[in-house]
Amino acid sequence: MRIKINIQIFAIIIILVIAKQIEIYAWLMLFALIHELAHMLTGILLKLKPKTLEIQPFGIGIIFESFENTEKNKIIIAMAGPLINILIALFFSSIDVNVKDIIINCNIILAIFNLLPIYPLDGGRILKALIKMKSTGEIAEKIINKISNILMILITVLSSVLILIYHNIGLVLIVAYLWIIVIKENNKYILKKRIYTIINK
């Protein structure tokens, strides 16, 4: 399995150190790793082979070999990450430790964030797989692309208000990063759309 590190992560770390918001980022990345290990373990249990582990500025991603990766498997694997975050939050809510609140908050944030139906977040992957089980890949691509862009606009508006109130640079970076991945997916969708057009002629 290959490990890829996005060099943008070092710029993010420097910015957050300067803004004195590095502690929450470190906790989030720790539980993002656990989140991703849950995806990987679930994939291995489903007899899939991990191909690449990508360390991104706001999370970690696992890519499996495409063979035998059915839509059902994709849903199960995608659900494993948020589920482990929810279980961790529930576990720490029942015990008394000094860092209890930050652990619970980080895991709730990761679970909610990843369950947003924005592709390629877990929620987007689940929704796309569900649509593909009932329809065609072309329709699934079209629907998930529209939902992702509409939600990103709404998130940007809401985040702008929160940024003005709390002056949190972390929110700015997260929204910017989300737009980067959504724009990348938009470009992929445009290419796929052209392919579908050629095939359907």
- pLDDT tens track for 153-189: 999 999 889 888 877 777 887 888 889 889 999 999 9
pTM of this structure: 0.83
Q: Is residue 121 part of a domain?
A: no
Same domain, yes or no: 72 and 146: no
Same domain, yes or no: 92 and 18: yes
Same domain, yes or no: 90 and 142: no
Same domain, yes or no: 56 and 151: no
Side chain identity, residue 77: I
Say how far apart CA 9 and CA 177 lie, in whole Å.
Answer: 11
The dihedral built from the CA positions of residue 61, 65, 68 and 70, taken in this order, carries a sign that is positive
Q: Give me the domain span that covers residue 81.
A: 1-115
List, for residues 59-88, the tens digit of each pLDDT value. 778 888 765 668 899 999 999 999 999 999
Q: Is the pLDDT of residue 201 over 70?
A: no
Q: Is residue 131 part of a domain?
A: no
Same domain, yes or no: 104 and 146: no
Q: Is residue 129 part of a domain?
A: no
Q: How many domains does the chain have?
A: 2
List, for residues 10-38, the tens digit of each pLDDT value. 777 787 788 777 888 888 889 988 999 99
Say how far apart CA 36 and CA 185 lie, in whole Å.
Answer: 21
Q: Is residue 83 part of a domain?
A: yes
Say how far apart CA 104 and CA 90 lie, in whole Å.
Answer: 8
Same domain, yes or no: 46 and 76: yes
List, for residues 114-161, the tens digit of each pLDDT value. 999 999 899 999 999 999 998 888 899 999 999 999 999 999 999 889
**Distance in Å from the first CA to the final CA of the chain:** 40
Instruction: Centre a 10 Å sphere on the Cβ of residue 24 and count the other Cβ atoms it contains.
Output: 15
Same domain, yes or no: 14 and 73: yes
Same domain, yes or no: 190 and 148: yes
Same domain, yes or no: 90 and 181: no
Q: Is residue 104 part of a domain?
A: yes
**127 contacts 147 by C-beta, under 8 angstroms:** yes
